[in-house]
């Protein structure tokens, strides 16, 4: 709510839930960064702490900046452990206000929001109009109670305008990564989302559940094996479909991924990474599944792996994923992580008009003289597919190796010369798609900022925002940094990538232990980035942390 | 056998792909019964999609000139479910083995039954893993000697009929490959039935199962239709489903155990009930703009 109100007043917002536990009982907090300029990552340090309980004060005390404001409820919390520090305090009887104005203790959050708005100097009228917009559906009583409680908090915040930030009056949208991704799919003709709940992908399922309709449905199925195979069935029957999960569920999807590769079913799979193998840290982030996503499944087949770098790309790459899947009839994996999935960011309204749907090669006309060759040998590797229901173009898609018709060359026939040749040709046909992708799509290489810089941070996906801000910090300290960031990881245009990286002073920045991007770069280009900033404690890396480490590396050179 | 099979064929839905089954394999009878059911129903080839798993029996779709997917071991139900979600106008038939259905894929079968999605699932139950050359399957008899149980199977066989009925399947039948005419009727009615149908077929593996042979079944099976069984009675159906077990496989009922009219998943889903997803328009610009506004 605070994020929305700030965005409405023309400010930029970056929100990130730093939770420990998804069930009740753990310490839960939400960090919102508000700024006059676009924020690309979450910041370190707290200017305003709203402590709804004692845990908040105890756990966050080390993160409070000099001169920070602590908003606390004198009836619920005490600030003794903070005494003696250079802090400012706002005593706000949040619970009393909530009870008095609404009789509902949960409303104390709204009193706190009112107080924060007072502190940063956002006009109360913006709060009122935002509340009216948000809650009109729930009835007038809810609206008026929220406004009363919020205004009371605003009045009670004692010290006004401790931080003054001014918005530019442009009404901005605030959206979470998973919602942007889901909307990208929804707007691009994805008609079915199938999943089994797993943090941090579950909110995609919730999003589809909330937005079911307009020719789009979703299904919570019995496990992730079902989720991907339902998606393959739906794609085989001609609709755009997607499934999503985290690493554990993706592990179960692996065989299905190969099925999609073999029968050339265009599917989109979301893999939102969390920390560690097995159950790991279920509510924490990491970029540790990159190589897994690229190599999951036995055998070899073309696939595309993309990793959105910001909220706009969550939307755009999800939309593009469906065109790529249809054009190349292969699985496309969208590599998210908890940080990218759950953070929220201000953005302009997404541009739905810019979406161009390309279903790729589809056969509609039967040739009565010939049986349809679903897997016709073609130079570009893509064979026209038919949509079940179309008369005369029937075929059986075989997960065994098959010939141009889809008939098996396994079991009874494998080893016979003719079929050895069929395997060779069919394999080459499928694999040729990779070359076609690289030739036709100008996306399989990284982007560069500040091209003439002396040093570069090299990173991908969700760490890009922090790297870009780290470069700003470093440059403001008199250093010369640019950023090279990847959003497409597979396939890679090795030549273009090499040209961009060659001869530069590079520092690899990743949220994992084994520097998986650096491994990919090395295997594609031979360039071995030795300087590395790696984080694997479950927390997303910040610009400050990157800048500090990069500075050390440069100084030690 | 060959004569009986020829007899049941009318209109041909078969492809020119020669089945890879051993001579005498029970799956030939199933193939004939499916062909007869399709032709009796007069279904258009292009509107039929046959989905299989992996196993000897899962080669079934290739023998037909319809649409189909020969998918993964144990996963035909989710694939078939996806097909049905996408296009409920298609007649979706699942064909696979007992290992596929009741071993690796059992979970999916029970959930499909519960969901009552309109799929007809024909399981060729040979009480053995055929394709992998003769290991015990979940329906192998206790004591059965197979490659993986040389000293006799320790486990009792699973009861797919009882499981399917209790899980919520709305058409549950059992057939015998040695009687393809009877089977064709069950398949036909299973396809006609609006909801999840399981047709378990005793389909002897003449190569790897020398216990559950045609003769073995012939001496044991009897038809429920001739025994006064009421397939609308769930308790009676469950009782009948236990008879093979309780009689020590002396009396083995085949035919329709249970039939119920219950709305299918597609009937209940607020989007699917409006018609095949594939024919529904995608969200309009106005609808998308409205969603975008939620984030203001
Ligand atoms: C995941 C996986 N595990 C194992 C196999 C090997 N496999 C292929 S078919 C089969 C069992 C076949 O038995 P059944 O399903 O009863 O079919 P049948 O051959 O008897 O008709 C197995 C274990 C496989 N293909 N995939
Ligand atoms: S091995 Fe058994 S199940 Fe397989 S084809 Fe031969 S007889 Fe049929
Ligand atoms: Mg079997």
Which CATH architecture does the domain made up of A2-171 adopt?
Answer: 3-Layer(aba) Sandwich (3.40)
Q: Is the dihedral of CA A466, A472, A475, A476 positive or negative?
A: negative
Pairing of strands B67-70, A396-398: parallel
Contact partners, residue A351, CB within 8 Å, separation at least 6: none
| pTM (predicted TM-score) | 0.96
Domain boundaries, chain A: 2-171, 175-354, 447-555
Angle at which helix B76-86 crosses helix B106-115, to 10 degrees, equals 30
Paired strand residues for A273: A337
In this predicted structure, what is the pLDDT of residue A26?
Answer: 73
Which bound ligand lies closest to the C-alpha atom of B125? Answer: 3
Phi, psi at residue A448, to the nearest 5°?
-130, 140
Q: ipTM of this model?
A: 0.96
Residues of chain A in contact with residue B272, where contact means CB-CB under 8 angstroms, are 217
234-273 of B, contacting A, C-beta below 8 A? 269-272
Q: Is the dihedral of CA A254, A292, A217, A241 positive or negative?
A: negative
d(CA A261, CA A247): 19
Q: Is A353 helix (H, G, I), strand (E, B) or coil?
A: helix
- Establish whether residue B26 lines the binding site of ligand 1, counting it when its CB lies within 6 angstroms of any ligand atom: no
Sheet containing A396-398, strands listed edge to edge, beginning at the edge strand earlier in sequence: A396-398, B67-70, B48-52, B91-97, B120-125, B197-202, B171-176, B252-259, B221-223
Question: Based on C-alpha coordinates, what's the Rg of chain B?
Answer: 20
Which whole number is the average pLDDT over A306-328?
Answer: 98
* A256 in Cβ contact with A298 (< 8 Å): no
With an 8 Å Cβ cutoff, are A407 and B17 in contact?
Answer: yes
Phi, psi at residue B254, to the nearest 5°?
-125, 165
Phi, psi at residue A28, to the nearest 5°?
-125, 130
Contact partners, residue A501, CB within 8 Å, separation at least 6: A446, A458, A484, A521, A525, A527
Q: Does residue A121 carry a pLDDT above 60?
A: yes
Q: Which residue from A minimizes the CA distance to B275?
A: A215
Q: Does residue A30 carry a pLDDT above 60?
A: yes
Per-residue H/E/C for chain B: CHHHHHHHCCCCCECCCCCCCCCCCCHHHHHHHHHHHHHHHCCCHHHEEEEECCCCHHHHHHHECCEEEECCCCCHHHHHHHHHHHCCCCEEEEEEEHHHHHHHCHHHHHHHHHHCCCCEEEEEECCCECCCCCECCCCCCCCCCECCECCCCCCCCCCHHHHHHHHCCCEEEEEECCCHHHHHHHHHHHHHCCCCEEEEEECCCCCCCCCCCHHHHHCCEEEHHHCCCCCCCHHHHHHHHCHHHHCCCCCEEEEEEEECCCCCHHHHCCCHHHCCHHHCCCCCHHHHHHHHHCCC
Average pLDDT of the residues of chain A: 93
Q: Do domains A175-354 and A447-555 have the same CATH topology?
A: yes
Compare CB distances from B283 to A216, A255, A407 and report the shortest one's residue: A216
Pairing of strands A455-460, A64-72: unpaired
Tokens of A180: 């942007």
Domain boundaries, chain B: 2-293
Q: Does residue A184 carry a pLDDT above 70?
A: yes
In this predicted structure, what is the pLDDT of residue A17?
Answer: 79
In this predicted structure, what is the pLDDT of residue A412?
Answer: 66
Contact partners, residue B131, CB within 8 Å, separation at least 6: A411, B54, B55, B56, B58, B97
In this predicted structure, what is the pLDDT of residue A231?
Answer: 98
Tokens of B209: 């199962």
List the beta strands (DSSP E) in A423-467: 447-449, 455-460
Most A-contacting residue of B38, B63, B64, B78 (CB-CB within 10 A), to test interface: B78
Which CATH architecture does the domain made up of B2-293 adopt?
Answer: 3-Layer(aba) Sandwich (3.40)
Segments in chain B below pLDDT 50:
none
The minimum-distance atom of ligand 2 relative to the CA of B24 is 7
How many Cβ atoms are within 10 Å of A273's Cβ, its own excluded?
31
Residue-wise pLDDT for B2-12, tens only, equals 555 555 555 57
Q: Is the dihedral of CA B127, B48, A269, A435 positive or negative?
A: positive
Residue with tokens 């999840």: B196
Phi, psi at residue A387, to the nearest 5°?
-100, 125
pLDDT band at A24 (very low <50, low <70, confident <90, very high): low
d(CA B49, CA A455): 58
Q: Looking at A28-42, A243-257, B151-165, which range is the least confident one?
A: A28-42
d(CA A87, CA A74): 16
In this predicted structure, what is the pLDDT of residue A21?
Answer: 57
Residue B58, chain A, CB below 8 Å: the answer is: no
Residue-wise pLDDT for A330-347, tens only, equals 999 999 999 999 999 999
Q: Which of these, A285, A205, A250, lies nearest to A462 by C-alpha position?
A: A285
Would you give the distance in Å from CA B18 to the centre of its chain?
Answer: 22
Cα dist. A116→A48, A121, A160, A161 in Å?
8, 8, 9, 9
Cα dist. B119→A93, B90, B167 in Å?
60, 10, 15
Question: Is domain A447-555 given the CATH code 3.40.50.920 in the classification?
Answer: yes
Tokens of B138: 């979940």
Atom 6, ligand 2: which residue's CA is nearest?
Answer: B22
pLDDT band at A120 (very low <50, low <70, confident <90, very high): confident
Phi, psi at residue A385, to the nearest 5°?
-105, 160
* A275 in Cβ contact with A536 (< 8 Å): yes
Which whole number is the average pLDDT over A384-402?
Answer: 97
Tokens of A539: 């927390």
Which whole number is the average pLDDT over A317-327?
Answer: 98
Residue B78, chain A, CB below 8 Å: the answer is: yes
Compare CB distances from B78 to A191, A229, A395 and report the shortest one's residue: A229
d(CA A355, CA B91): 33
* B210 in Cβ contact with B234 (< 8 Å): no
Residues of chain B in contact with residue A227, where contact means CB-CB under 8 angstroms, are 78
- Establish whether residue B210 lines the binding site of ligand 2, counting it when its CB lies within 6 angstroms of any ligand atom: no
In this predicted structure, what is the pLDDT of residue A25?
Answer: 63
Q: Assign a CATH topology to domain A175-354.
A: Rossmann fold (3.40.50)
């Amino acid at each position: 709510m605070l994020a929305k109100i700030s965005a409405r007043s023309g400010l930029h917002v970056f929100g990130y839930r730093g939770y420990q536990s998804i069930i009740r009982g753990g310490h839960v907090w939400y960090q919102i960064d508000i700024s006059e300029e676009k924020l690309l990552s979450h910041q370190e340090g707290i200017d305003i702490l709203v402590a709804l309980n004692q845990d908040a004060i105890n756990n966050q005390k080390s993160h409070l900046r000099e001169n920070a404001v602590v908003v606390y409820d004198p009836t619920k919390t005490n600030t003794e452990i903070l005494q003696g520090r250079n802090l400012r305090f706002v005593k706000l009887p949040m619970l009393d206000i909530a009870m008095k104005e609404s009789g509902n203790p949960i409303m104390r959050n709204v009193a706190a929001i009112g107080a924060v708005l007072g502190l940063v100097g956002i006009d109360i009228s913006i709060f009122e109009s935002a509340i009216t917009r948000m809650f009109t559906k729930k009835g007038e009583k809810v609206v008026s109670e929220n406004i009363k409680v919020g205004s009371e908090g605003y009045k009670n915040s004692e010290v006004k305008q401790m931080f003054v930030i001014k918005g530019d009056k442009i009404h901005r949208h605030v959206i979470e990564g998973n919602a942007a991704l889901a909307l990208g799919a929804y707007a691009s003709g994805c008609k079915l989302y199938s999943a089994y709940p797993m943090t941090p992908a579950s909110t995609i399922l919730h999003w589809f559940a909330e937005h079911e309709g307009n020719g789009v449905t979703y299904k919570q199925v019995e496990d992730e094996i079902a989720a991907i195979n339902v998606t393959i069935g739906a794609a085989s029957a001609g609709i755009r479909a997607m499934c999503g999960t985290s690493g554990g569920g993706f592990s179960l999807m692996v065989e299905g991924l190969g099925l999609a590769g073999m029968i050339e079913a265009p599917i989109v799979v979301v893999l939102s990474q969390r920390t560690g193998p097995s159950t790991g840290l279920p509510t924490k982030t990491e970029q540790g599944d990159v190589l897994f996503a690229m190599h999951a499944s036995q055998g070899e087949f073309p696939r595309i792996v993309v990793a959105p770098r910001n909220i706009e790309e969550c939307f755009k790459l999800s939309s593009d994923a469906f065109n790529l899947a249809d054009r190349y009839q292969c699985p496309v994996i969208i590599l998210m992580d908890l940080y990218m999935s759950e953070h929220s960011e201000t953005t302009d309204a997404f541009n739905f008009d810019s979406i161009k749907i390309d279903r790729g090669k589809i056969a509609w006309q039967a040739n009565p003289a010939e049986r349809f060759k679903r897997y016709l040998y073609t130079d570009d590797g893509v064979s026209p597919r038919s949509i079940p229901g179309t008369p005369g173009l029937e075929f059986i898609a075989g997960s065994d190796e098959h010939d141009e018709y889809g008939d098996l060359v396994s079991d009874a026939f494998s080893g016979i010369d003719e079929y050895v040749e069929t395997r060779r040709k069919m394999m080459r046909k499928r694999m040729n798609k990779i070359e076609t992708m690289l030739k036709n799509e100008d996306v399989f290489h990284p982007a560069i900022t500040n091209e003439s810089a002396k040093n570069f941070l090299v990173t991908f996906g969700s760490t890009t925002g922090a790297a870009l801000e780290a470069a700003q910090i470093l440059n403001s300290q008199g250093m010369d940094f640019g950023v090279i960031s990847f959003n497409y990881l597979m396939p890679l245009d090795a030549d273009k990538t090499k040209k961009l990286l060659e001869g530069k002073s590079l520092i690899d920045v990743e949220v994992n232990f084994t520097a998986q991007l650096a491994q990919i770069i090395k295997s594609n280009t031979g360039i071995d980035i030795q300087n590395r900033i790696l984080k694997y404690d479950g927390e997303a890396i910040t610009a400050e942390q990157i800048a500090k480490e990069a500075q050390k590396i440069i100084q030690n050179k | 056998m060959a004569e009986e099979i020829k007899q049941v064929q009318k209109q041909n839905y078969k492809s020119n792909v020669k089945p890879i089954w051993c001579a005498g394999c029970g799956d030939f009878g199933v193939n004939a019964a499916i062909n007869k059911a399709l032709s009796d129903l007069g279904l258009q080839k292009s509107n039929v999609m046959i989905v299989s798993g992996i196993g000897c029996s899962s080669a079934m779709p290739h023998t037909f000139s319809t649409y189909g997917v020969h998918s993964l071991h144990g996963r035909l139900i989710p694939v078939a479910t996806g097909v049905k979600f996408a296009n409920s106008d298609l007649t979706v038939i699942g064909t696979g083995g007992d290992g596929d259905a009741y071993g690796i894929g059992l979970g999916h079968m029970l959930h499909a039954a519960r969901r009552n999605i309109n799929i007809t699932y024909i399981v060729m139950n040979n009480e053995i893993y055929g394709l992998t050359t003769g290991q015990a399957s979940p329906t192998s008899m206790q004591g059965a000697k197979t490659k993986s149980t040389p000293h006799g199977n320790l486990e009792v066989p699973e009861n797919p009929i009882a499981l399917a009925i209790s899980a919520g399947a709305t058409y549950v039948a059992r057939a015998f490959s040695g009687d393809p005419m009877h089977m064709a009727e069950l398949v036909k009615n299973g396809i006609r039935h609006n909801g999840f149908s399981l047709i378990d077929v005793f389909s002897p593996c003449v190569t790897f199962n020398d216990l559950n042979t045609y003769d073995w079944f012939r001496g044991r099976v009897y038809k429920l239709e001739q025994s006064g069984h009421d397939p609308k009675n769930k308790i009676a159906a469950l009782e009948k489903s236990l008879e093979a077990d309780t009689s020590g496989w002396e009396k083995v009922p085949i035919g329709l155990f249970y039939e119920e009219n219950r709305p299918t998943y597609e009937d209940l889903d607020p989007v699917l009930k409006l018609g095949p997803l594939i024919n529904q328009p995608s969200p309009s610009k106005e609808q998308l703009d409205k969603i975008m506004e939620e984030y203001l």
